[in-house]
Every structure is written in structure tokens, then in C-alpha cells.
Amino acid sequence: MADPTLRRLILAVALAVVPCLPAMAANDAPQKTAEALSRKALTDDWSYKFLESLTSEIGPRLGGTEAEWRAADWAVARLKAAGMTVHTESFPMTAWLRGVETAAIVKPAPQRLVLTALGGSVATPPGGIEAEAVIFRTYGDLLAVPPGSLNGKIAVVTERMVRTVDGMGYGLANPIRRQGASEAARRGAIAYLHRSLGTDNHRLAHAGALNYTDGVPKIPAAALAGPDADQLERLSALGPVIVHVTLTPTTDDSAHSITVVGEIKGREKPDEVVLIGAHLDSWDLGTGAIDDGAGDAIVSGVGRLIAALPQHPKRTVRIVLFGAEEMDFSDKAYETAHVGEVSKIVVAGETDFGARRVYEMRLPAGAVNSPFGKMIAGLLPPLGVLLVPEAPRHGGSDIQDIGADGVPVVALSQNGLDYFDIHHTADDTFDKVDPAELAQNVSVWAALTYLVAETDVDFRALAKATAKP
């Protein structure tokens, strides 16, 4: 510390780096504090380390299992340490537990097939099912065949989902996974396989839940890795293909899941709630880094930054780490528990689309041209985010039920071009996350969350005013 040049340099850096956050928060406009929070987030690695710890020290955390409960304990401690008031909300669920999952082509060319059982699938007999595979190159081709035409067969849909930046390809392909098993069963099939809903070509299958249709026999169902679907296509073009599939999942009707909630109580209007969330559970094949540990890290990081302000914002900020989203329980459970409080939730937002950069913000109808919209718009250009006029199509799966009950929703669109290369596979691990991109997400969410909490913006009123002729 003897070199005066070095001393001057350190002083200059210190002056530049410390943006007098406390003073600004106390005295300056909300926009200034939001901007300072946003800047601070960009060079803060807390969320990245949060994600590293969650994905390593907890790892996979399937909803309704002991691993998810360990994740909840872990999250409670983290949110408390980050300055939030924390509680948990437990709810009952049926857990689904993966068993053995193996498959092979038996004829004409014996070889292993890579697949994974769909969440909720019933089991095959312990020795598996062996039958001829009938290949449909599109889901529509399956729907076009009559009842009885697949009696005793294994139906296989090899349609590819399409890569898009916004996940639309996944949304439109979803019935292949969700309804395919029941549609195949209606036509007589004894098992159902489909090409994974994914955009990669790795020998890793993409998990995901199905929905059986009432009144239709439940048949075992699994997703094939992309190259394995290719292989079945090629061989079936040459002659009959016999496939053997063994899936032995089990269920537990008396399980429960846990949602973890961290709050920063509003200093003026504690009953008005700004809710941002992500889901804490993950599929069991990977360690849930992009789905949705990244979301947990982002919203928790926002909560920590806001809790560290010298004074809380006017409204309550609520960070929700939902349980059992992948098992389709999180939204209904949250709505059921909070049905009396819906009108007090000023806005809800969710991040559940990985850790790539945010490129677009969508506010509830009528908000973009309001003073609030102008305020947030001023913060976005340095972050590379566009405020677009359209309201969100939806808020996200965890908040869809409260959204349907009238809670206004915001959405930040992330670059999802490679999200479905990894989504729901064993490849969903920490190494796939870029720390700078993760930090940009925290930055944008922090600015937005703080501004809503510190101002009087009333999204319901803005929407109503807009809806007028």
C-alpha cells in the first residue's frame, strides 16, 4: 500500500464502485434506486453461487421426495441469510417415482434404445412389454388411424419439435407428450413412445409429465432420445421392428411438497404484494440448473438485493420458490392456499425458462404507456431489453391459476434457442449456465420488482382504462 499511484487508483475505483446506494434509496426517486440495484446485480455473483450450491449440495429434487424437502430446508436457510422473512407452505400430492427404464430393439437389429418414462406413466409388467412398433412420423398420423388399428402394438410418434427463441415449438408439440399415450391407447396400443420434446440430437431422453384421459386405458409411456427415434424410423422403413420396453415407476399417494416463501415486508402497504417466483423442484435426471434452479437463483437474488436496501419498499416483495411444478401441483396448490388474498397481489411474475439473457419485457395491458411504463423503459436500454407493447400471453405455469383469478402478470422473455437442448434431461447441470447471463436476469428482475414495489402503479386500473372503448 506504499505506492501513491496504486493508492490513488484504489481510491478512484472505490469511488466509482460504491454508488452510495443507501443515500439514494432514502432520498432519490424510485427510478434511481432501481437503476442502482440493477447495476449492482450485474457484477454480483451471489445468484450464481446460490445455483452452484443448490445443484451440487442438493442436486436432483423431484417433487414430493426427500430430495425436494432437503432443497426446501436449504432454501429456507438461504433466504433467511439473505435478509428475508421466511416461511414454508406444505401441500399434499401424489409423488411419482422413477424405476427401471430400459428398452431395446429386438428385431431386426438388436440394440439398446435410450428412453425415459413420462412422469405419471404407469408401469409395464416387471419383465417388460415386447411388441411390434408402429411408427408415426407426425402426431397427426397417429390421430388419423381408427380405433383398434393398434391392437397389441407399441405406438411410436417420431415427430420433431421445432427450435424457436420463445418456446413456441415446445408449446405446440406438447400434446405429443401430454395426450399421446391416451390417444394411442384409444386405438388399441399397449405402450406409447415418442421422440423427446427437445431440439438436440444427443442420446439423452427428455422427461416430462403426461395426462391420461379419463375412461381410456392407461398404458406405459416414455420419451425416446432423438437419435433413437431416428433409428426406429430407419429400421421400420425396411420391415417390422420388434421393441422391448421395461418401465417400473411407482407412485405414493400420501406424499407432500413444500413451497418456500421469503418476504420483504412493505414499509407503507404491507398487504399489497409483488410476487416473483420460480420452482424449486426439478426433474430427477439432471440437477435442475436451467430448470429451474436458475429461476430460484434469480428471484432469490432479487429478494436479497431489495432486503439489503436501507429501507424496505412501500409494498411487500414476496419471493416464492414453488414445490412440485414439474408434477403439475404447484399452481393449483398456491391458488388454493391464497384464494382469499388474490386481490392483494399487485402483480405476479415467474422465471422458468433457463438462464439465458432477457431480451424483452412484457407488462400487463395498459402499463407500457403509463408513467410506470416510461420509468421502467428508461432503465432497460443498457440491459439490452426491449419493452414491447403486448401484454404477456401468460405468466408461467406456477402462477397460471392466480393469473386466471385476475392477478396481473409480467413476463421477461429470455433467449430460449438452446433451452430445449437441455430441458428435462440429465444434461441440465450447473456447467450449462453462464454467470454473466444469469446476472443480467437478476438485474432486470430487480429493477422491475423494486419499481412496482416502491411506486403506486395499479395494473388492474390501467388494464381497465385500456379496455374501455
Q: Which stretch binds a copy of itself (CB under 8 A): 88-96, 125-133, 263-271, 424-432?
A: 424-432
Q: Which stretch binds a copy of itself (CB under 8 A): 56-64, 143-151, 157-165, 402-410?
A: 56-64
Q: How far is CA 368 from each of CA 74, 214, 378, 403, rounded to the nearest angstrom?
A: 38, 43, 12, 19
Is-contact 385 446, C-beta < 8 A? no
Return the residue of 7, 49, 112, 464 that touches a copy of itself, per CB under 8 A.
112
Quote the least distance from Cβ 437 to a copy of itself, whole Å. Answer: 16
Based on CB atoms, which residue is closest to a copy of itself, 59 or 171? 59
- 301 counts as binding a copy of itself under rule CB under 8 A: no
Q: How many residues line the site for a copy of itself (CB under 8 A)?
A: 34
- 68 counts as binding a copy of itself under rule CB under 8 A: no
Based on CB atoms, which residue is closest to a copy of itself, 231 or 259? 231
Return the residue of 43, 56, 311, 343 that touches a copy of itself, per CB under 8 A.
56
- 49 counts as binding a copy of itself under rule CB under 8 A: no
Based on CB atoms, which residue is closest to a copy of itself, 257 or 429? 429
- 434 counts as binding a copy of itself under rule CB under 8 A: no
C-alpha cell at 14: 472505490
- 101 counts as binding a copy of itself under rule CB under 8 A: no
Cβ neighbours of 148 (radius 10 Å): 9
Quote the least distance from Cβ 238 to a copy of itself, whole Å. Answer: 7
Return the residue of 28, 45, 57, 341 that touches a copy of itself, per CB under 8 A.
57
- 226 counts as binding a copy of itself under rule CB under 8 A: yes
Q: Which stretch binds a copy of itself (CB under 8 A): 33-41, 109-117, 303-311, 357-365?
A: 109-117
Residue 267 φ then ψ, to 5°: -80, -20
Based on CB atoms, which residue is closest to a copy of itself, 121 or 236? 236
Residues 387-406 that bind a copy of itself (CB under 8 A): none
Residue 104: its H or E element: strand 101-107
Based on CB atoms, which residue is closest to a copy of itself, 42 or 97? 97
SS3 label, residue 284? coil
- 204 counts as binding a copy of itself under rule CB under 8 A: yes
C-alpha cell at 36: 442502482
Return the residue of 60, 266, 277, 354 that touches a copy of itself, per CB under 8 A.
60
DSSP code string of 145-158: SPTTTTTTPEEEE-
- 126 counts as binding a copy of itself under rule CB under 8 A: no
Nearest CA to 277 out of 117, 131, 449, 112 is that of: 449
- 234 counts as binding a copy of itself under rule CB under 8 A: yes
Q: Which stretch binds a copy of itself (CB under 8 A): 145-153, 227-235, 362-370, 375-383?
A: 227-235
Task: List CB contacts of 288: < 8 A, sequence separation 6 or more.
Answer: 54, 55, 60, 61, 281, 282, 428
Q: Side-chain half-sphere of 26: how many Cα atoms within 13 Å?
A: 5
Quote the least distance from Cβ 100 to a copy of itself, whole Å. Answer: 11
Q: Which stretch binds a copy of itself (CB under 8 A): 127-135, 231-239, 392-400, 402-410?
A: 231-239
- 77 counts as binding a copy of itself under rule CB under 8 A: no
- 432 counts as binding a copy of itself under rule CB under 8 A: yes
Nearest CA to 292 out of 259, 325, 258 is that of: 325
- Rounded Cα distance between 197 and 398, Å, is 20
- 431 counts as binding a copy of itself under rule CB under 8 A: yes
Q: Tell me the H-state helices in 61-128.
A: 66-81
- Rounded Cα distance between 180 and 155, Å, is 9
**Helix count (H) and strand count (E) of the chain?**
16, 16
Omega prior to 108 cis, within 30 of 0:
yes
Is-contact 284 98, C-beta < 8 A? yes
Q: Which stretch binds a copy of itself (CB under 8 A): 104-112, 188-196, 347-355, 363-371?
A: 104-112
Quote the least distance from Cβ 190 to a copy of itself, whole Å. Answer: 25
Cβ neighbours of 216 (radius 10 Å): 14
Q: Which stretch binds a copy of itself (CB under 8 A): 54-62, 89-97, 305-313, 323-331?
A: 54-62
> Using CA of residue 309, residue 315, residue 317, residue 318, what is the dihedral sign?
positive
Is-contact 320 341, C-beta < 8 A? no
Based on CB atoms, which residue is closest to a copy of itself, 141 or 230? 230
Return the residue of 67, 79, 274, 379 that touches a copy of itself, per CB under 8 A.
67
Quote the least distance from Cβ 403 to a copy of itself, whole Å. Answer: 34
Strands across the sheet with 315-322, in order? Answer: 85-97, 250-264, 315-322, 269-279, 345-350, 409-414, 358-362, 386-387
- 109 counts as binding a copy of itself under rule CB under 8 A: yes
Q: Side-chain half-sphere of 189: how many Cα atoms within 13 Å?
A: 28
Q: Which residues bind a copy of itself (CB under 8 A)?
A: 52, 56-60, 67, 105, 108-112, 114, 201-204, 226-227, 230-231, 234-235, 238, 286-287, 425-427, 429-432
